[in-house]
A and B are shown apart, each in its own frame.
Chain A
Amino acid sequence: MLKSKTFLKKTRAGGVMKIVREHYLRDDIGCGAAGCTACCGAHEGPALEPQPQDPASSLCPQPHYLLPDTNVLLHQIVSAWRPGTWASVASSLRLPGSLETYVEQEQGENANDRNDRAIRVAAKWYNEHLKKMSADNQLQVIFITNDRKNKEKAVEEGIPAFTCEEYVKSLTANPELIDRLACLSEEGNEIESGKIIFSEHLPLSKLQQGIKSGTYLQGTFRASRENYLEATVWIHGDSEENKEIILQGLKHLNRAIHEDIVAVELLPKSQWVAPSSVVLHDEGQNEDDVEKEEEREQMLKTAVSENMLKPTGRVVGIIKRNWRPYCGMLSKSDIKESRRHLFTPADKRIPRIRIETRQASTLEGRRIIVAIDGWPRNSRYPNGHFVKNLGDVGEKETETEVLLLEHDVPHQPFSQAVLSFLPKMPWGITEKDMKNREDLRHLCICSVDPPGCTDIDDALHCRELENGNLEVGVHIADVSHFIRPGNALDQESARRGTTVYLCEKRIDMVPELLSSNLCSLKCDVDRLAFSCIWEMNHSAEILKTKFTKSVINSKASLTYAEAQLRIDSANMRDDITTSLRGLNKLAKILKKKRIEKGALTLSSPEVRFHMDSETHDPIDLQTKELRETNSMVEEFMLLANISVAKKIHEEFSEHALLRKHPAPPPSNYEILVKAARSRNLEIKTDTAKSLAESLDQAESPTFPYLNTLLRILATRCMMQAVYFCSGMDNDFHHYGLASPIYTHFTSPIRRYADVIVHRLLAVAIGADCTYPELTDKHKLADICKNLNYRHKMAQYAQRASVAFHTQLFFKSKGRVSEEAYILFVRKNAIVVLIPKYGLEGTVFFEEKDKPNPRLIYDDEIPSLKIEDTVFHVFDKVKVKIMLDSSNLQHQKIRMSLVEPQIPGISISPDDISNMNLNGPEKKKMKLEK
């Protein structure tokens, strides 16, 4: 049947357009119920369960399908998460394009009413249709809506209809399901205080008008981790000024939550503030302390010089909420039998959320997931509902799950669809594989990796040619041979972007079969590789570069230590050892050249845990050791990456995937320069080369660790290196490596960027065919964006994992005193680094409910004067480390000052007995000196 719709539309130019559209109503859309003969299987896609397995409901005892209306589906989809309970929901929606259920908009009926009516017609049709299926069929379709009028009309028409709440309450088997209902009912919004705290959000149309005219600015809201009353908004767009706007105070934040897209209004200059360096956490249990809030806000506004003031604004409206389910813990209400509780998210940038639950006592001490439903104007906290229980706090599995969820690391097992694209085992190299491939199995290739590495993605060789030159080859696992563009495996690895290494776990980017077997360049097996082969002379100048797909057979997989031993030992003369020696010699020359060009050698303290093989608890902690062989492998990887970058950019100037490291703005270095000056050293930061040189010269005979500290600080000044598409940018420079062009080619097993680069290179040398997405720079830019995000998140997850294991380590170790160096000086704290553990921590000098010591902060030097003692950056101190379990959610390493001793601040080394860290009680201080 054909329906034509005709309407008039006004065009932008002011003319009137007559639009005629036709719409075909189909008679071949099946109902989707399995075994329905009337539709003769016309339905495609997900089908209804033949016999709905819904839990018994007291309202409708016979088996039934649910038909939710759009609003219910949108808001309650989280409760549908639990497999089995609501599984029949989504597939039951019958398309409105069907002949029997088509509903025409009536005169005077608005679109919403029409849609409601269409759903009712569909429900009615379903009920009649299912009855037709077989006479004794008890199946029923139940209509779920939260719209009262809609429900009344449905009941009038003889359709069984309930509100969502009614239905869920009737499910006798799952009483906990009711906690998961998003509280949208009006009575849920009535909060005790009833006082309006926040100003109203403007409607979207007004915001858009304001943004167009420039009165409001649109940006991403980023809450501060350290201070819950402060946030910044990153303004979208290209304008240089007002890039970052500060928001201060609860009212100005106006219910925006981290990551939301908001519209802000700039305040007049007289009200501008500077970012405060105070650390503040929202800890009040009480909900009515709005006045106290204001007091705290006053505290932030400290007198500062004019030039420190930054553009300040307030949120006038939310353009797009970016809420997701949050992990965290329940802070049980003090009032007994109260059903409303506050939930504290693990991420400190997210405000606490009020939820309603009857199972508070079972959820206490557990990690749970909560979703936000809304934030009414009169509520201090947003309202949410309980979603999922993850497990006990402190359990390693729970904590790992939390940190993966919080850092948005996809970690589910690979789906069947993904696994179906894996090669079939047993796998062997076939004739077809050998096409466009060079046989390099005769070469003496070996791999050098950290101990215990199972995903070996690079191997090396070096041999002398007849003409006296050296041939050096870098062989990289040919992952792009297995991951074909566009299939599910490719999409999943593109989504994951990177392999995430946690302390005791690896979250693979590609399934295990590839990562640890078929792609891993293990010794003594034939493996497919992508080789980059140079001809070099003895002074490491590249004479010829060749790229080829190849088959290799690695002769040995060595660890860094083993390779080092071979190089150093006097009596080993086999092929592998000579090859390694040749590589090592060239690597040293390459490194020297690179440093001459101005590459930076930076430092960051890295630690490795020794795990107990049984319990996987950390038993010891060790800073990573660096050998010559580490830098040997690194050097050739850099060389390969640079060579490949040049090649793919030459071939695909518009859509090569490259990696750049922007030079940091000079202001980033301020802290480094100031810190060095306090030690009478000068750090030049105008170019990378001068920075590298002045860092090399910055030595102090009395303080050997100073140089490392300076390098650690310099690392903090750097920008993030990012992937980008060459057609979308014109600055390719890699600052840290002092290379004009760079990419990632050498680790395709654990980075998706390398897979793309492999594909580009394969096309460039004619070894593989191209596909449309590869040469689409916008698609490539999207991939880059995702990769950059995943890499950043993976890094954070790794750090969080290290932090968690450090806690476990100190939990077993008890309290220790260690030497530390001051890295930064803050207004009310110092940040110290303990070289022995590579551990960084903050020593606070202000505590709640205690008279504040006299603190004088000098931003220029920078230094902090406490009573009579002055702290400078790089000062050596002694701190006591212990695990602070007073806050179960954020168990943290707590440090307190031991030396130098300051009366009332520091604690004496042996004064442990009268401290109780397991409770919120205050510490008793012993006055000394």
Chain B
Amino acid sequence: MAGLELLSDQGYRVDGRRAGELRKIQARMGVFAQADGSAYIEQGNTKALAVVYGPHEIRGSRARALPDRALVNCQYSSATFSTGERKRRPHGDRKSCEMGLQLRQTFEAAILTQLHPRSQIDIYVQVLQADGGTYAACVNAATLAVLDAGIPMRDFVCACSAGFVDGTALADLSHVEEAAGGPQLALALLPASGQIALLEMDARLHEDHLEQVLEAAAQAAQDVHILLDRVVRQHVREASILLGD
């Protein structure tokens, strides 16, 4: 894959997108009946499933209960068939622990946890196919699932990744672009207020370029918000028709 041109002279990326364009996003809410909330999202070839239970009583040790707010419990897992190489991914490996922690931080910032003291909210996310931007897909799926469960939130949480190639910021990196080894940034945004719920970056990026990349990621997250908003409205419309209102 040596010398792969991530951004052509004409400004097209490997998969034919322009620098700021997202991959095709498709999402559905309420995919499982037994869970309190659930959602499925496809961002290009990245596919994630999120399930939410709660708020409910603390399970397991009572000592974990928080007196003033709800406990957000996040678990991330990815399917054995999610990547090119089939690989068994046990629960509780480092990568999924870290991802769980990040999701938890993200949603503690977004869910109005103080409304449910001494209770617990479980968010389970599974990645069925990974083609770059798994964190972003997980957050977006979980947002829809939390909304589906009817848990009050400050705002949507919309996430998107961004990278930096040849002086240009690329939004929503695919696996090929991630694997090329440039800097990549993951951003979770509360779109209405523009507040950042989580920001993470690997690899080194010069300070001068950070703003540009951040800008691209934020813009992409806003675009994601528009799409998610449309999905939610569609879902609510369908649900209300079913309820016969």
Q: Which residues of A contact B84 (CB under 8 A)?
A: 9, 17-20
Contact with A along B218-238 (1 / 0, CB 8 A): 000000000000000000000
Asked whether B45 lies within 8 Å of A22 as measured between CB atoms, the reply is yes
Asked whether A20 lies within 8 Å of B85 as measured between CB atoms, the reply is no
CB-nearest residue of chain A to B12: A97
Contact with A along B8-38 (1 / 0, CB 8 A): 0011100111000001100000000000000
**From DSSP, what is the main secondary structure of chain B's interface residues?**
loop
Q: Is B117 an interface residue when CB atoms closer than 8 A count as contact?
A: no
Asked whether A24 lies within 8 Å of B16 as measured between CB atoms, the reply is yes
CB-nearest residue of chain B to A8: B84
Contact with B along A655-691 (1 / 0, CB 8 A): 0000000000000000000000000000000000000
Instruction: Given A11-B85, A772-B206, answer yes or no on A24-B131 (Cβ-Cβ < 8 Å).
Output: no
Extra pairs beyond A21-B15, A26-B12 (7, CB < 8 Å):
A18-B84, A20-B129, A22-B45, A24-B15, A26-B16, A772-B208, A772-B209
Can you name 20 A-B pairs with beta carbons within 8 Å? Answer: A2-B24, A4-B45, A9-B84, A15-B85, A17-B84, A18-B84, A19-B84, A21-B15, A22-B15, A22-B23, A23-B15, A24-B23, A24-B24, A26-B16, A44-B10, A95-B12, A97-B12, A771-B206, A772-B208, A772-B209
CB-nearest residue of chain A to B11: A44
Q: Which residues of B contact A772 (CB under 8 A)?
A: 206, 208-209
Q: Is B176 an interface residue when CB atoms closer than 8 A count as contact?
A: yes
CA distance A845 to B79 in the complex (A): 84
CA distance A252 to B89 in the complex (A): 58
Q: Is A45 an interface residue when CB atoms closer than 8 A count as contact?
A: yes
Q: Is A78 an interface residue when CB atoms closer than 8 A count as contact?
A: no
CA distance A692 to B45 in the complex (A): 72
Asked whether A17 lies within 8 Å of B85 as measured between CB atoms, the reply is yes
Asked whether B16 lies within 8 Å of A25 as measured between CB atoms, the reply is yes
Q: Which residues of A contact B11 (CB under 8 A)?
A: 44
CA distance A614 to B85 in the complex (A): 78
Contact residues on B (Cβ < 8 Å of other chain), bracket: 10 to 19
Interface residues of A in 821-870 (CB under 8 A from B): none
Q: Which residues of B contact A9 (CB under 8 A)?
A: 84
Contact with B along A753-777 (1 / 0, CB 8 A): 0000000000000000001100000
Q: Which residues of A contact B10 (CB under 8 A)?
A: 44-45, 95
| Residue from the set A24, A25, A95, A771 with the largest chain B CB neighbour count within 10 Å | A24
Q: Which residues of B contact A25 (CB under 8 A)?
A: 16
Asked whether A21 lies within 8 Å of B176 as measured between CB atoms, the reply is yes
CA distance A44 to B174 in the complex (A): 25
Asked whether A20 lies within 8 Å of B206 as measured between CB atoms, the reply is no
**Partner pick for A20 among B12, B16, B24, B45, CB 8 A cutoff:** B45
Instruction: Given A44-B10, A95-B10, A97-B16, answer yes or no on A20-B131 (Cβ-Cβ < 8 Å).
Output: yes
Q: Which residues of B contact A20 (CB under 8 A)?
A: 45, 84, 129, 131
Q: Which residues of A contact B44 (CB under 8 A)?
A: 22
Q: Within the complex, what minimum Cβ distance (angstroms) separates A729 from chain B?
A: 23
Contact with A along B174-214 (1 / 0, CB 8 A): 10100000000000000000000000000000101100000
CA distance A190 to B45 in the complex (A): 55
CA distance A397 to B23 in the complex (A): 58
The 7 closest A-B pairs by CB, nearest first: A772-B206, A24-B16, A17-B84, A97-B16, A23-B15, A17-B85, A18-B84
Interface residues of A in 265-310 (CB under 8 A from B): none
Instruction: Given A22-B44, A44-B10, answer yes or no on A771-B15 (Cβ-Cβ < 8 Å).
Output: no
Q: Which residues of B contact A24 (CB under 8 A)?
A: 15-17, 23-24
CA distance A772 to B176 in the complex (A): 25
Q: Which residues of A contact B17 (CB under 8 A)?
A: 24
Q: Which residues of A contact B16 (CB under 8 A)?
A: 23-26, 97
CA distance A772 to B166 in the complex (A): 12
Contact with B along A1-39 (1 / 0, CB 8 A): 010100001010001011111111110000000000000
Q: Which residues of B contact A4 (CB under 8 A)?
A: 45
Q: Within the complex, what minimum Cβ distance (angstroms) separates A491 from chain B?
A: 13
Q: Within the complex, what minimum Cβ distance (angstroms) separates A61 from chain B?
A: 33
Q: Within the complex, what minimum Cβ distance (angstroms) separates A33 from chain B?
A: 16
CB-nearest residue of chain B to A26: B16
Contact with B along A770-813 (1 / 0, CB 8 A): 01100000000000000000000000000000000000000000
CA distance A15 to B174 in the complex (A): 23
CB-nearest residue of chain B to A43: B10
CA distance A771 to B167 in the complex (A): 13
CA distance A772 to B206 in the complex (A): 6
CA distance A95 to B209 in the complex (A): 30
CB-nearest residue of chain A to B206: A772
Q: Within the complex, what minimum Cβ distance (angstroms) separates B151 from chain A?
A: 33
Q: Which residues of B contact A44 (CB under 8 A)?
A: 10-11
| Residue from the set B17, B44, B84 with the largest chain A CB neighbour count within 10 Å | B84
Q: Within the complex, what minimum Cβ distance (angstroms) separates B167 from chain A?
A: 9
Asked whether A771 lies within 8 Å of B12 as measured between CB atoms, the reply is no
Q: Which residues of B contact A2 (CB under 8 A)?
A: 24
CA distance A18 to B131 in the complex (A): 12
CB-nearest residue of chain A to B207: A772
CA distance A44 to B208 in the complex (A): 28
CA distance A671 to B11 in the complex (A): 59
CB-nearest residue of chain A to B209: A772
Q: Within the complex, what minimum Cβ distance (angstroms) separates B164 from chain A?
A: 11
Interface residues of B in 126-144 (CB under 8 A from A): 129, 131
Q: Which residues of A contact B131 (CB under 8 A)?
A: 20, 22
CA distance A771 to B206 in the complex (A): 8
Q: Within the complex, what minimum Cβ distance (angstroms) separates A180 from chain B?
A: 26
CA distance A24 to B12 in the complex (A): 10
